[in-house]
C-alpha cells in the first residue's frame, strides 16, 4: 500500500510503505480538527479513538465486523413505533445506567434515579387521587400511597407522578395487543400536604424483549433477559429537579442480576401483604392485596431530568 495524502502525493520521503493502524486512526481523528462545534469535535474524536482502540485490541476480523453491521441493520429493521431495540442495546450494555449516573447524581436525601426503560409512553391520563391504573384484571391489587417531599422534609403540593408498570402476564400495555392503551399507567398530582395515592398491581419479573438482536447477544453470551419486579415513576414539580426512578419489590427475583443493571438498594421497598377482610382495604378490593407506603424526595433546582412529551420513546 502506498502512503499517499488526499492529493495522491507520495508519503514522507517519497518511499512506498505500509500505513500502520495507528496512522489510520490519527488521520481519522485529525479529520475532525476543523469541526466548529468544540463539544461535537471532542465527542467525535474520542469516539474514533475508542472505537479504533477496541477494533485493534480484539483484532476484529472482517467477518466479525460484517456480522456487527448485520446486527445493527437488524436493530433498525425491528425498531418501530412500539419497540426501540437501540434502547435495549443501551440498557443491556449498561450504557443507559452509566449516562444516568453521570447526568443525575442524587443529592443527599433525594430519591435516586434509574433508567427510563423502553416502554415509557408520554401523555398518560391524569387520574384522581386513589384511582386504579389497571383497566382490566392484571394481578394482585396494590395500594401505593405516600408523599412527595423536598430535601428539607417539607411536602410539595402539586407535584406530578407519572406511573407505569407491567401486569401479571409480564407485559406492559404497549406490548399487549389485548390491553387498552392506558392500561397500567397514569398521572397523579399531590394534594396540599404532598400526599398521593393510587391503586396498581403488584409487579412481577419480566424478560426484556429477547426475540431480536439484543436477545441473540444475551443468549450467545450466557446472559438472561430478566428484570426484577418494579413500578416506574417519574416525579416532576416546579422549582425541583425531576427524577425518573423505579420502585423495586424487595422480595423479587433478579434483584442481584437485573438484565439492565438498574437496581439500586435505596429503591427497594417491601410490599406488605394484606388480607381480603382488612378494614383498610381500598374500595372495590375483595381479595388479598398488598400495600406500599412510599415517600419520594426531590432536590431543588432546574428541571433537568424531566421527561418531556416526546411521543412514544419505547
CA–CA gap between residue 254 and residue 207 (Å, rounded)? 11
- Cell numbers for 121: 409512553
The partner residues of 230 in beta bridges, in order of sequence, read 248
Whether residue 1 has pLDDT greater than 80 = no
Closest CA to 261 of 75, 84, 134, 99: 99
Question: Tens digit of pLDDT for each residue in 140-191?
Answer: 999 999 999 999 999 999 999 999 999 999 999 988 888 999 999 999 999 9
Helix (H) or strand (E) holding 200: strand 195-201
Q: What secondary structure does DSSP assign to 110-155, as a single string?
A: SPPP----TT--S-PPB--TT-B--SS--SSEEEEEEEEEETTS-B
Domain ranges of the chain: 12-60, 85-298
Within 160-263, residue ranges assigned H as helices are 213-220
CA–CA gap between residue 263 and residue 270 (Å, rounded)? 15
Give me the pLDDT at residue 17, please: 83
Q: Which residue matches cell numbers 476480523?
A: 61
- Please give the sequence-ordered ranges of beta strands (E in DSSP) within 202-262, or none if there are none: 206-207, 226-227, 230-236, 243-249
Q: Which residue matches cell numbers 437496581?
A: 263
Q: For domain 85-298, give its CATH number from 2.60.130.10, 3.40.1390.10, 3.40.50.150, 3.10.20.590.
A: 2.60.130.10
Give me the pLDDT at residue 305, please: 43
Q: How many helices (H) and strands (E) does the chain have?
A: 6, 11
Question: Tens digit of pLDDT for each residue in 239-283?
Answer: 999 999 999 999 999 999 999 999 999 999 999 999 999 988 888
- Cell numbers for 294: 412510599
Give me the pLDDT at residue 313, please: 34
Question: Tens digit of pLDDT for each residue in 23-66?
Answer: 999 999 999 999 999 999 999 999 999 999 999 999 999 999 99
User: The whole model's pTM is what?
Assistant: 0.85
CA–CA–CA angle 102, 106, 111 (5° rounding): 130
Whether residue 132 has pLDDT greater than 90 = yes
Average confidence (pLDDT) over 131-140? 93
Amino acid at each position: 500500500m502506498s502512503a499517499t495524502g488526499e492529493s495522491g502525493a507520495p508519503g514522507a520521503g517519497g518511499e512506498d510503505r505500509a500505513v500502520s493502524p495507528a496512522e489510520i486512526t490519527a488521520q481519522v481523528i485529525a479529520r475532525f480538527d476543523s469541526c466548529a462545534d468544540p463539544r461535537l469535535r471532542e465527542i467525535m474524536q474520542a469516539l474514533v479513538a475508542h472505537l479504533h482502540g477496541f477494533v485493534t485490541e480484539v483484532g476484529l476480523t472482517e467477518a466479525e465486523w460484517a456480522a456487527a453491521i448485520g446486527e445493527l441493520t437488524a436493530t433498525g429493521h425491528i425498531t418501530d413505533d412500539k419497540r426501540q431495540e437501540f434502547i435495549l442495546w443501551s440498557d443491556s450494555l449498561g450504557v443507559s445506567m452509566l449516562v444516568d449516573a453521570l447526568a443525575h447524581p442524587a443529592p443527599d436525601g433525594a430519591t435516586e434515579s434509574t433508567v427510563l426503560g423502553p416502554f415509557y409512553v408520554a401523555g398518560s391520563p391524569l387520574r384522581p387521587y386513589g384511582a386504579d391504573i389497571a383497566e382490566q384484571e392484571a394481578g394482585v391489587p396494590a395500594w401505593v400511597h405516600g408523599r412527595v417531599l423536598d430535601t428539607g422534609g417539607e411536602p410539595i403540593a402539586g407535584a406530578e407522578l407519572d406511573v407505569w408498570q407491567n401486569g401479571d402476564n409480564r407485559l406492559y400495555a404497549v406490548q399487549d395487543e389485548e390491553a387498552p392503551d392506558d392500561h397500567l399507567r397514569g398521572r397523579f398530582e399531590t394534594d396540599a400536604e404532598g400526599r398521593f395515592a393510587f391503586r396498581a398491581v403488584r409487579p412481577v419479573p419480566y424478560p426484556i424483549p429477547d426475540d431480536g438482536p439484543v436477545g441473540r447477544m444475551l443468549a450467545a453470551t450466557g446472559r438472561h433477559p430478566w428484570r426484577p419486579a418494579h413500578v416506574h415513576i417519574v416525579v416532576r414539580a416546579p422549582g425541583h429537579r425531576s427524577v425518573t426512578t423505579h420502585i423495586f419489590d424487595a422480595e423479587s427475583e433478579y434483584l442481584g442480576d437485573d438484565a439492565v443493571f438498574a437496581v439500586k438498594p435505596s429503591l427497594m421497598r417491601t410490599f406488605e401483604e394484606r388480607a381480603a377482610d382488612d378494614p383498610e382495604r381500598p374500595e372495590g378490593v375483595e381479595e388479598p392485596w398488598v400495600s406500599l407506603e412510599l415517600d419520594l424526595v426531590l432536590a431543588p433546582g432546574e428541571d433537568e431530568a424531566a421527561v418531556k412529551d416526546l411521543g412514544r420513546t419505547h
